[in-house]
Structure 1
Amino acid sequence: MASKKYLLLAGAVGLLSASTSFAQVQPTGYDALDSTKVSSKRMVQQNNFTNHQSNFPAKPRDMWELGLSGGLHLIDGTVNPRPGFGGGISLRKALGHTFSLRAEYIGSIDKGQNYKAIYDNPGAASPWAKTYAKNGFYVPNYKSQNHQLSLDMIASLSNILFYRAEPKINWYVLAGYSIVVADVDVDALDANGNGYDYSSINFGQKRHDIVKDLKSLQDGKYEQNAPSQGNRIAIGRHNDNQLLRHALDVGTGIAFKISKRFNLGVEEKLTLPFDAYLDGYPGPGGATKDFYSYTSLRLNFNLGNSSKRVQPLWWINPLEYAYSELSNPRHMKIPAPVLPDADGDGVTDQFDREPNTPAGAPVDSHGVAKDTDGDGVPDYKDKQLITPTYCQPVDADGVGKCPDPECCKHIAPACSSLVLPSVSFKGSSTKVGSEQEAILASVASSLKANPSCNVLVTGHAGAKGKKGGVDLSSRRVDSVIDYLADKQGIDRGRFIKQNTPGESGTVDLAPAN
């Protein structure tokens, strides 16, 4: 029973595929059957997929993404940062639907200003104390001009969707490597080249007032190199103080698709050089490591010929083609359903109410053997195909017994009143078929009811009684007589044979008395 259900399901799938072929929905992101988006070096794989030799299509050519960014840039370190500005340009390429590589340049200007004075003995080891402090007091500050080159791996987290086609939002995380060049300067000397005298600042007042007083005191020229350690290169406003550092990048972002060519994003990127001198002041012991924070608004543009390339792969749901193929098969090989019909009557077993009818037996649309006269004997067994209702019930052969009318029970019927049918043969056939048997069964019934009547059996020998026609006609006449005598039990002595000229495929029966 289970196998029949599966076969029925296969038939339903076949009908569904035929009906949906008139209104197929094409994938909106990328059609795996479209070879125009595949590079020549991947065409072998694409051809294998098209010819059902591989389950996987080739990866299509996709567009590059050009990004422009700008936003808040600051240094998180020991010195209190002021909001700075950064801007960048990037180029991104997909490795697959999830991972991509992005190369980026970021330039920024950052400032910082402490609001508390720090005291160091003039002989202390601190560079600030040795160089810039007056009366042992100084307030750390800085201005940093930064250049950063990054190579980041980006993982998209929202393009594999189970219930939508194309993603409209792309949320991602990133990690990578940067090399950072930073020119860090400090505002430590007044117009006379002396360290600032901070004794006039009341550091006990509110922070806003302290910062205001510091701005009034300082000239904002940032004329000195900030203290630093490690690698330096001789470029920048003051030679020998541009830091060169390796760094680790981490971050996250979200992009919103505006069109297939443009998207708008917001990103937070942290750059970790593991250096305490990005703000020019390492703090007590130098244990605090500074890092860059870049919160940016990004304008991203897809570059490439849309007739040869698809959107960047992180904007394409790789499940869409698989779902579209299940819904509207265009590539799958679906075998034609074969539904079982055990008795060969033309009605499949799922719908056959009589699954064991004999071969050749005529059946109705439900597979049940026909009973034309409704006498309870199916046609393939019925020797009297049409039995009047008043002659029923019938015997096992479907032959009924018609009662004589009360007025005529003792009157012998006249043979001349009998009307007997003709028997037709097709082509050059001489065999009595199932249709002819039904006719001759009714003739036999009439002859049995009139035992005194003989029968003239007439065949037609063709034009002018040709020899071949006479032979065919005689064999047909003999077939009719043999059937009535052997199958129906009519005495052979009651038949009179004759052949006449004329074109006809019938054998005529008529009373001979």
Structure 2
Amino acid sequence: MQITKHLMKGALALALSFGAWTPSQGQISVNPTDDQFVSKKYESQHAEWKKGESQFPGRPRDMWQLGVGAGSFLISGDVQSQFGWGASVHVRKSLGYVMSLKAEYMFGQASGLNYQASSQNSYQDIEPFTTQYAGPNTLFYANYKIPQYHALSLQSVFNLNNIKFHKKSNKWSLNLILGLGVNMYRTTTNALDANGNAYDFSRVALDANGDPIDLSTLSGRREVRNNIKGILDDDYETSAQQNSNNIFTFGEDGKKMAVNPFMNVGLSLEYLITPRLSLALEHQGFISVDDYIDAKQKNETGDFTSNIDIPHYTSIRLGFHLGKKDKRIQPLWFVNPLVYPMSDVADLKKKLDDDLFKDDDNDGVPNKIDEEPDTPENAIVDTKGRTMDSDGDEVPDHLDKEPFSPPGYKVDEDGVAAVPKPLTPEDIKVVGDNERLVIGDETFDPLGGGGKGMLNDWYLPMIHFDLDKYKLRPESYEQLRHIARVMQAYPDLKVVVHGHTDVRASDEYNDRLSYNRAMTAIDYIVNQYEIDRSRFIAKFNGEASNLIPSAAGEQEHFMNRRVEFYIAEDGETEGAKPEGDGGRNRNWKY
């Protein structure tokens, strides 16, 4: 007991000195942006995480725990245990937020005494029982004392309540303990009196009147045990029988120490007083295959019992957390791992509430990336907040009644281009021997004679295509009909059919696609209106000549995916077919 008192006094003094370190003098933060806590191994990962390039922050360095404890030590076995004491010291280090490793040394003393008498057959066939308690009616009351019990173990400690959704830190820690270790002990029995004779237990179970004491009551059992204690001396002179399966024994004869392996199982409830100090209540059981720890493996009638002996150690512990407070946080089993994502979410919400998505001109583009912070109301803007003018006619889209005007024509204040109407059969009159073409009130001379202008001054419509296709869209048929009617009205007229694509896909692919679009239009007019193929000059430009050079949205790309028609000039020839067919060998249906 003196050892325990000195141990607790020293631990108390050390705890008071640690307790003097208060949170106000330097509370350890667990903010994930505190770089000084991150170990060198994780510094690069932590830097990437802060920049958003890694999903996980670097692991912080945490403190080691040096612990001392003291409490009750007893043996659960065949002999009823009496008060015993134990003391321990351990070192513990976290492997993560849930699991930690603990190395522990424990020392204890235990004793026990039965209130029921045992026959000679219930005890070991060793001296002095074979000589002193040889008679069939001789009574002996099982007792033992363990003057020294040593246990060394390595334990895995699992935190069962470390994840907190509603608070930053974790003050209470509930832990499950699983470990392996080895014990060393010697058990003795008080079998003989001071003169080396067997004790006379014949009257310990009788009351003052000589009547049997009722052992079914607690008071009766207590009375018998007190009577036995009144007879026994303090000398446990006889070494108990030991397990034949011991790993080994050592020491002089009569005082041999047994060594056996065991498994730790336990629970602890730990409270964080300060980041430097914790207090815990812990219970452990040491499970092995040894049934000789309490000096008895048979019941009072001499039959073997099925239960093994299990030492139990219940202790109060102080944990001292060691490490520089500006370099290490408290042990990780007291740190909520959700502090990282929760802190990140809180920081992001604060930035969102402040100015990250602030948009003064209400154009849908935050001020942070808005290159035109004072956009007019209702203006259509691009991804950088700039007012859009899709057709480049200097009339912004939100005021432009024709936001995709054909190029090359003057526009009015509403952005509408002055484009001549498409030809209709009613507009066309052929005069004479196809030498002149009269459109409405205008006469055109293709040979450059006395007419008011060349036929190629007249605008022919263009057609558009879906992405990655050269199949005609429904609205294209009417426009192709207009072109066919003009060519039917003037049989010597040749028309250039010029295919284009948007900027997506490779140059080679787009060349083939633009050629196929031109050929689709030519094939349709040739087949439907019986116009000779030689009157068409097919050309293609792929993505080289876009109407909208910096097309971004789908609507702008659509304007670039087109086939244009215009009157061929003298000597104009058809371009070479691009390599590959782009899929036109599939017998395409219009």
Could you say which TM-score interval applies, normalised by the shorter chain? Answer: 0.5 to 0.7
- Within the alignment, does 1:54 sit opposite 2:60 as a pair? no
Alpha-carbon distance in 2 for matches of 1:130, 1:349:
110
CA drift of 1:41 comes to 2.6
Q: Distance in 2 between matches of 1:184 and 1:298?
A: 27
Kindly indicate whether residue 321 of structure 2 is the aligned counterpart of residue 302 of structure 1. Answer: yes
State the partner residue of 1:313.
332
In structure 2, the partner of 1:347 is 377
Shift of 1:124: 8.2
Amino acid at match of 2:60: P
Q: Distance in 1 between matches of 2:204 and 2:134?
A: 14
Per the TM alignment, residue 126 of structure 1 is displaced from its structure 2 partner at its CA by: 7.3
The Cα shift of 1:40 comes to 2.0
Q: What's the counterpart of residue 457 of structure 1?
A: none
Match of 1:403 in 2: none
Q: What CA distance in whole angstroms lies between the structure 2 residues aligned with 1:55 and 1:192?
A: 78
The count of corresponding residues between Structure 1 and Structure 2 is: 333
The question of 1:291 aligning with 2:310 is answered yes
The one-letter code matched in structure 2 to 1:235 is G
Q: CA deviation at 1:51?
A: 3.6
2:263 is aligned to 248
Q: Deviations for 1:362-412, whole angstroms, at most 9, x for unmatched residues?
A: 99xxxxxxxxxxxxxxxx99xxxxxxxxxxxxxxxxxxxxxxxxxxxxxxx
| Long gaps (5+) in structure 2 | 1-26, 207-211, 214-219, 366-373, 381-386, 400-412, 415-590
* 1:260 equivalent among 254, 269, 275: 275
CA displacement 1:424-483 (0-9 Å, x = unmatched) = xxxxxxxxxxxxxxxxxxxxxxxxxxxxxxxxxxxxxxxxxxxxxxxxxxxxxxxxxxxx
Q: 1:319 to 1:263 in 2, by over 3 A?
A: same
Aligned pairs for 1:107-506 (under 5 A) are 107-120=107-120, 125=125, 129-130=129-130, 133=133, 135=135, 136-144=138-146, 145-202=148-205, 204-205=212-213, 206-230=220-244, 231=246, 232-235=248-251, 239-283=254-298, 284-329=303-348, 340=363, 346-347=376-377, 359=395
Residue 201 of structure 1 deviates from its aligned partner by 2.1
Q: Relative to 1, partners in 2 of residues 1:224 and 1:341: Cα closer, same or farther, differing over 3 Å?
A: closer
Amino acid at match of 1:299: L
TM-score (norm 2): 0.52
How many Å apart are 1:277 and its aligned residue? 0.4
Q: Is the 8 A contact 1:345 1:360 kept in 2?
A: no
Q: Is the Cα–Cα contact under 8 Å of residues 143 and 190 in structure 2 kept in the other structure?
A: yes
Find the residue that maps to 2:83 and give its secondary structure. strand
Q: 1:310 is paired with a residue of what secondary structure?
A: coil
Structure 2 residue identity aligned to 1:110:
A
Tell me the equivalent position of 1:32.
32
What SS class does the counterpart of residue 152 from structure 2 fall into? strand
Tell me the TM-score normalized by structure 1: 0.59
The verdict on how the C-alpha distance between 1:187 and 1:309 changes in structure 2, with shifts beyond 3 A counting, is same
AA of the residue aligned to 1:180: N
Quote how far apart the aligned CAs of 1:120 are: 2.5
Q: 2:44 maps to what in 1?
A: 44
Kindly provide the amino acid, as one letter, of the partner of residue 267 in structure 1: E
CA 1:146/1:336 → structure 2, altered by over 3 Å: closer, same or farther? same
Q: Percent identity?
A: 29
Determine the C-alpha separation between the residues in 1 that align with 2:167 and 2:339: 8
Pairing 1:11-22 to 2, within 5 Å after superposition = none
User: Which stretch of the first structure deviates more once superposed, 273-282 or 36-45?
Assistant: 36-45
Q: Is the partner of 1:215 in helix, strand or coil?
A: helix
Check whether the contact 1:128–1:227 (CA below 8 A) recurs between aligned residues. Answer: no
Kept after mapping to 2: 8 A contact 1:90/1:103: yes
Greater Rg, structure 1 or structure 2?
1
Equivalent residue, structure 1, for 2:67: 67
Q: Does 2:70 match 1:79?
A: no
Distance apart, 1:305 and its partner CA: 0.5
